[in-house]
Amino acid sequence: MLLDIVLLPPSDVCIKVGKIIPKSVVKQMTLVVDNKKFIPHISLFHLKINKVGLLKVIKVVEEIVKDYKPLVFESLNYSASNRWLTLFLSSNQYLKKLNTEIINKCFLLRTGTMPWTEDYPPTKQAISNRKKFGNNGGRSFKPHFTIGVAKSAVDAKEIVDVLKPVKIKFISNQIAVCEVNFWHQVTRVLKKFRI
């Protein structure tokens, strides 16, 4: 089972994020985070796990959230990295502390490695992260919404150029353990916790 521990935005923000990709460019996309099939979220940690591990992860996250308060986010800029389209969000030390605590308390519970989703071979750093943490990012963390995956890097750059600027400011007061697909996109919320 592929999981992601995430911060969930309020429903009005999910709707707004789900409408960022215009219909005119959907034919250039492999995947669109539309708030229907794929749920907008801020990933904190991806891991591959079995059902026994899932129950342990849920208990660990439930304990962690007791020490945190809601987090404020603001949209920054769009980015096209290879085929991935993202909307970066503001960050702070409090968020980084939460991210680090989740990684430190959950990475040993994993039972495998997340799928490699890039069109190129992993770098030495990615190989090291995958070996230690079971995913590509390891401890590097830049809060963002993935808004889609283009069919090519060229398409991704073209799409970013036509996206209308969006200003979003919101408070996230929910952490969730979610099931994700091969592309690491949330398809189902398994358990939510209020912070």
pLDDT in tens, 15-45: 999 999 999 999 999 999 999 999 999 999 9
CATH code given to domain 2-194: 3.90.1140.10
State whether the Cα torsion 126-94-57-147 is positive or negative. negative
- Total Cβ atoms within 10 A of residue 80: 19
Q: What are phi and psi of 147, to 5 degrees?
A: -110, -10
pLDDT in tens, 83-126: 999 999 999 999 999 999 999 999 999 999 999 998 889 989 88
Q: Can you give the residue ranges of every domain in the chain?
A: 2-194
